[in-house]
Amino acid sequence: MGILIKIISRCDLSLIQEVRDSRGEAVPALLMNLNRFDKSHIYTHLESKRMGKKTYKEQYVYIYRKDMLQVQEQYQHPEFNESTVFAREPFIIRIHSPTTLVKNFVLIGQHTCPKSAMKEMEGLYEVFQTVRKKWKTENVMFLGDLNAACSYVTNKGLKNVRLRSDPKLHWLIRDEQDTTVREKTRCAYDRIIIHGKELISGIVPESALPFNFKEEFNLSEEEALEVSDHYPVEVDLKSNHRYLLRHEL
């Protein structure tokens, strides 16, 4: 848990996926230790319902600094039915961020099923249209393990996925990047995708990268895999000039 806390404490907001804790004890314990570790901020969280088509259930959890960000609304995409394309429905939040140039934006968190990754990514485009209308915003960021690489996608198939082909959607994590911990794999499964002129201009250029915590904390592959088999992907937003001045004085 120590390495995970160090990773999360680097960020104003994190999305954690594949939370499989039916007792509901892991996240409160993580938050308690996180707030003890970093006393300069106050961390809180939002969690989705437990989701999955069969007995396998998992949750999305957003952990964020409530002294830096405000979650204005949350939206769990409609649950599974016979026509749904998602194994786990997207978990969506609307953020107000006083300290960054772009003040209001939406996050769509998604963990696709590997076998239906392209189908789910196409479904995400429909979710995107729904959210734009629901909250009347163009500033939208997709994030999560989309399984958008290697054997789970094809170049031909991706060309027909609107989440990929729409020129107004910018994929910040590039295809050639590696978000996997295992040295024998090199796949950009995890992605950050953004839409909206205001949000695009509010991103720090070249800041979207996988965070190689194995290298950062001098871990062996075995030690790193105890934390996760994926590297987190991250991006920086440009700070509000007034906020910077206030903190420099």
Is 111 annotated as catalytic? yes
Give the tens place of pLDDT for each residue, 127-153: 999 999 999 999 999 999 999 999 999
Q: Are 43 and 35 in contact (CB under 8 A)?
A: yes
Instruction: Judge whether 138 counts as a catalytic residue.
Output: no
Q: Which of 111, 120, 230, 234 is catalytic?
A: 111
Q: With beta carbons less than 8 A apart as the criterion, state whether 125 and 163 touch.
A: yes
Q: Which residue has the tokens 């994929």?
A: 171
Q: Which two tokens stand for residue 161?
A: 């996925």
Q: Spell out the domain ranges in the chain.
A: 70-248
* Sheet of 59-65, strands arranged across: 13-19, 59-65, 43-47
Q: How far apart are CA 187 and CA 35, in angstroms?
A: 33
CATH topology of domain 70-248: Deoxyribonuclease I; Chain A (3.60.10)
Catalytic residue, chosen from 18, 41, 45, 58, is 58
Q: Tell the residue number behind the tokens 């392209």, with chain if given.
A: 118
Q: State both tokens at 146.
A: 């989309």
pLDDT in tens, 59-91: 999 999 999 999 999 998 775 454 578 989 999
pLDDT digits (tens, 9 = 90+) for 153-169: 988 888 899 999 999 99
70 has which bridge partners?
Answer: 96
pLDDT in tens, 36-62: 999 999 999 999 988 877 777 899 999
Distance CA 217, CA 153 (A): 32
Length reported for the chain? 249
